Amino acid sequence: MTVIPPTPFPGPRAPVEQVAFQRAELGVILGLYGRMVAAGEWRDYGISCLRDHAVFSVFRRTAETPLYRIEKHPKLRNRQGMYAVIGMDGQILKRGHDLKTVLRVLERKLIRPV
């Protein structure tokens, strides 16, 4: 009779590194999002936390591609800035070190001449 040794239970895994938006950053982003929803411009959003960056995507309708992506790349902190607003076509609209300053490019779209 052959005895099969028991399979050892795997130990704890190393935590997976993820980049995420901090509470204060989300407060700024969701404040802008609320104003744009009230104006009827935006309707839905999605948040992705990946290994090297975090993305807040804004949609006009749920089934569309995002109108804008607000991205956080911590590795670019000491270069051109870790925050970026990217348009639907992939063009970087604004990049910088301060989130409020970067989001001003979207605030201008809210203020339209009547």
Q: Show me where the domains of the chain are located.
A: 23-110
Tell me the backbone φ, ψ of residue 25, rounded to 5 degrees: -65, -45
Tell me the backbone φ, ψ of residue 12, rounded to 5 degrees: -65, 140
pLDDT attached to residue 62? 67
Round the average pLDDT of the chain to a whole number and report it. 84
pLDDT band for position 31 (cuts 50, 70, 90): very high
For residue 2, pLDDT over 80 is answered with: no
Residue 32: which residues within 8 A CB-CB, separation 6 or more? 103, 106, 107
For residue 56, pLDDT over 70 is answered with: yes
Q: Residue 69's Cα: distance from chain center in Å?
A: 7
Q: Of the given ranges (8-17, 31-40, 68-77), which has the lowest mean pLDDT?
A: 8-17
